[in-house]
Chain A
Amino acid sequence: EAGVAQSPRYKIIEKRQSVAFWCNPISGHATLYWYQQILGQGPKLLIQFQNNGVVDDSQLPKDRFSAERLKGVDSTLKIQPAKLEDSAVYLCASSPRTQLNTEAFFGQGTRLTVV
Chain B
Amino acid sequence: GENVEQHPSTLSVQEGDSAVIKCTYSDSASNYFPWYKQELGKGPQLIIDIRSNVGEKKDQRIAVTLNKTAKHFSLHITETQPEDSAVYFCAAIPNSGYALNFGKGTSLLVTP
Give A residues with C-beta under 8 Å from B. 4, 31, 33, 40-45, 48, 50, 55-56, 91, 93, 97, 102-109
Report A-chain residues with C-beta under 8 Å of the C-beta of B89: 42-43
Asked whether, in the complex, the Cβ of B99 is within 8 Å of the Cβ of A106, the reply is no
Asked whether, in the complex, the Cβ of A45 is within 8 Å of the Cβ of B100, the reply is yes
The residue of chain A having its C-beta at the shortest distance from the C-beta of B31 within the complex is: A102
Cβ of B44 < 8 Å from any Cβ of A?
Answer: yes
Nearest first, the 3 A-B pairs at minimum CB distance are: A106-B43, A42-B102, A45-B99
Distance between Cα atoms of A40 and B100 in the complex (Å): 18
Asked whether, in the complex, the Cβ of B41 is within 8 Å of the Cβ of A108, the reply is yes
Given contacts A42-B104, A45-B99, contact A102 B93 (CB under 8 A): yes
Q: What are 13 pairs between A and B in contact, CB < 8 Å?
A: A40-B104, A40-B105, A42-B91, A42-B104, A43-B89, A45-B99, A45-B100, A50-B98, A55-B99, A91-B43, A93-B43, A105-B46, A106-B43
Asked whether, in the complex, the Cβ of B32 is within 8 Å of the Cβ of A102, the reply is yes
Report B-chain residues with C-beta under 8 Å of the C-beta of A105: 46
Distance between Cα atoms of A108 and B89 in the complex (Å): 16
Distance between Cα atoms of A91 and B38 in the complex (Å): 12
Asked whether, in the complex, the Cβ of A48 is within 8 Å of the Cβ of B105, the reply is no
Asked whether, in the complex, the Cβ of B103 is within 8 Å of the Cβ of A42, the reply is yes
Q: How far is the CB of A103 from chain B (nearest CB, A)?
A: 5
Distance between Cα atoms of A105 and B102 in the complex (Å): 14
Cβ of B61 < 8 Å from any Cβ of A?
Answer: no
Report A-chain residues with C-beta under 8 Å of the C-beta of B102: 42-44
Asked whether, in the complex, the Cβ of A97 is within 8 Å of the Cβ of B98, the reply is yes
Given contacts A41-B105, A42-B89, contact A108 B98 (CB under 8 A): no
Interface centre among A43, A45, A50, A108 (most CB of B within 10 A): A43
Contact partner, B43, options A4, A44, A97, Cβ 8 Å: A4
B2-43 residues at the A interface, CB under 8 angstroms = 4, 6, 32, 34, 36, 41-43
